[in-house]
Amino acid sequence: MASLDILQPAPPGGKIRPSKNSRRRLIVLAVVHLIAAAHITHWLVSGRSVTPVEPSEAIAFSRDGIVNAGLIFFAVTALLTAVFGRFFCGWACHLVALQDVSRSLLERVGIKPRPLRSRVLVWIPAIAFLHMFVAPAVVRLWRERSLGVHHYEWTTSHFWQTFPGWFVAGLTFFVCGFVAIYLLGAKGFCTYACPYGALYGFAERFSPLRIRVNDDCEQCGHCTAVCTSNVLVHQEVRDFGMVVDPGCMKCLDCVSVCPKDALRYGPGRLPFGLEHPEGAPGRKHLPWREEIVLGVGFVIGYGAFRSLHGWVPFLLSLGLGACVGFFVLLVDRLLRREHLSFNGRVLKQGGNLAMPGKIVVASALLLCGAVAYSAWAQLQYRSMNRAFAELYPTARATLPLGASIPTLSAEGVEAARRALLRAETLERFGVIQSLGAASVAAWSHLLLGERQQAEAEARLAIERRERPNEMHHLLARLAVEQGDRSRAKLLLAEITQADPGDPHGWLNLAGVEAEAGELGAARSTLLDALTALGERSDLLHSLAVVEARRSESDAAVALLQRSLELDPAHRPSLETLAGLRAAGGELAAARDLFSRALALAPSDPETLFLAARVDLALGLRAEAEAKLGELVRIAPQAGPSARRLLESSP
């Protein structure tokens, strides 16, 4: 009877003794999970904690040049793996623990998952690693001509920002921990999906410390029988005197159960150049036709579910892709073969489907429907995001309350309408909510001047936690337009409390307070912002403006000078300091500052006008006329003001 089972050799005789290391590893994994729980608890209680100690956090360095605890952890564990082997994977990874528990539960109900040995899927972890960590670094290198460190981030108040919600996390654990084991075999996710395992597996090849054998080995096969990493231990130690498979996760069960104590973990020669020949016993791979079917199935599954409705994260999509790929292969075999069994269940016999086979066929039909729906939803979702990407720079520019909402070009209006159409289609016909659809609709309505609809969508987006800071800013802007400063202050205060790292929240709150004449409150807000964020030119400039309005000119000048020390090209600070110098009679200093500002923005109408006024005060009429001429050329509506200024000067 044809079967998908690829059997490991059964021990020739004798009962396998229990592994002493299983209990030890269980204790270590329990301690690791308790430490993780303590880390999360500390963040929940204090509101701030060490950045997540997760390899996935290393992407922040590749993408943005941020060094965090996750990057250090990933680098250190990779280096330790190159010395000691893959102990981290076997003794500290929560997904490995989950997969081992899943395998144990399946075995208790009589199902012993068999390992899939594929030459195609085995490359998925390496490709995923390149996509996740290397590609963003290459893009940053191309853009910045450097891979330098931008800043260090050892603590965070947004601990869960890079993690999925509880439901998606649970689904990830179910698919990657249980379904992957049932379909792909023990540690199936590690073998065919884990991007971190790609680096650890590569580092493992350099480790001088590995499982080795002495002459007492009798090839009983107990070691292979207990290995949960799909390593053919008895073959490798027979052929090479050591385990060379980089999938070995150093669980050390093989060492513990050896009846002759022939195995040990210790130093010795490196495994370079040692590998089993193609088609060696126990290492037969799938035929190339089936490898292609498996690969196509993976691409279909990954493509259909990656970021579906904005919810499916990268690791889950990899796990789903691998599982869908295998399921496609299973259906392909079911259609082609007269006899087929899988994991001890007869699917087809004598050309007739058994009940498990009928369940597989029904599941295949459901999967086809799910993939078709996902393809439609992905098309709508990506079209919405592409359209909104054209608008987003304009939307971000309106975050400061002092900025006006620009009039969209014809192309901008078309992009906004297209984004709205896709968002509304997803809301109406989507099986689940599309993450980001409400916030996209809110911004699009605002930029189209449809304020009532923008407010309704922004409230919905906040309920769904879609861009909550931006939505609070949007509602605060609308409240200010409606003259409801109290409500605007409440909305902005929520931002400063929920996300003290958002400078726009502090700046807008201080701006609303200052406009209401509450200069003391505005000053206090900006001082709190400086405490939370450190010295920044935009905060120092805003505080200087408040101090100037409080008639504290010396304090304002000092703040502006400090702002320019931090950023000599901060134009608002240059212009405000120039104004204060001019008001104090220091016209030459004011002219120099305005010249620096104009060098940064030669076509700014307000700066041209103010600089011309200083020139006239200094008797430099020709220079003033040149600046005013440029002003009128850029902004013809400023012509009357320019003429009045010239006429008022002798």
CB atoms near residue 345 (< 10 Å): 14
The residue whose two tokens read 């892709």 is: 321
Position 8 scores a pLDDT of: 47
What secondary structure, in 3-state letters, does 604-616 show? CHHHHHHHHHHHH
DSSP state of 357: H
Position 281 scores a pLDDT of: 54
Tell me the backbone φ, ψ of residue 3, rounded to 5 degrees. Answer: -150, 155
Position 279 scores a pLDDT of: 52
Position 166 scores a pLDDT of: 83
**Of the candidates 212, 60, 40, 81, which has an alpha carbon nearest to the alpha carbon of residue 132?**
60
Position 13 scores a pLDDT of: 52
3-state secondary structure of 449: coil
Position 157 scores a pLDDT of: 82
Position 581 scores a pLDDT of: 92
Name 84's Cβ contacts closer than 8 Å, sequence gap at least 6: 207, 209, 250
Position 4 scores a pLDDT of: 45
3-state secondary structure of 152: strand
Position 590 scores a pLDDT of: 92
**Of the candidates 554, 558, 496, 538, which has an alpha carbon nearest to the alpha carbon of residue 521?**
496
Domains of the chain: 21-208+270-353 (no CATH), 210-269 (3.30.70.20), 355-482 (no CATH)
Q: Are the C-beta atoms of 98 and 221 separated by less than 8 Å? A: no
Q: pTM score > 0.75 for this model?
A: yes
Position 289 scores a pLDDT of: 92
Residues in the chain predicted with pLDDT less than 70, given as ranges, are 1-14, 276-284, 650
Give the CA distances from residue 553 to residues 512, 537, 570, in Å, rounded to whole numbers and listed in that order: 21, 18, 19
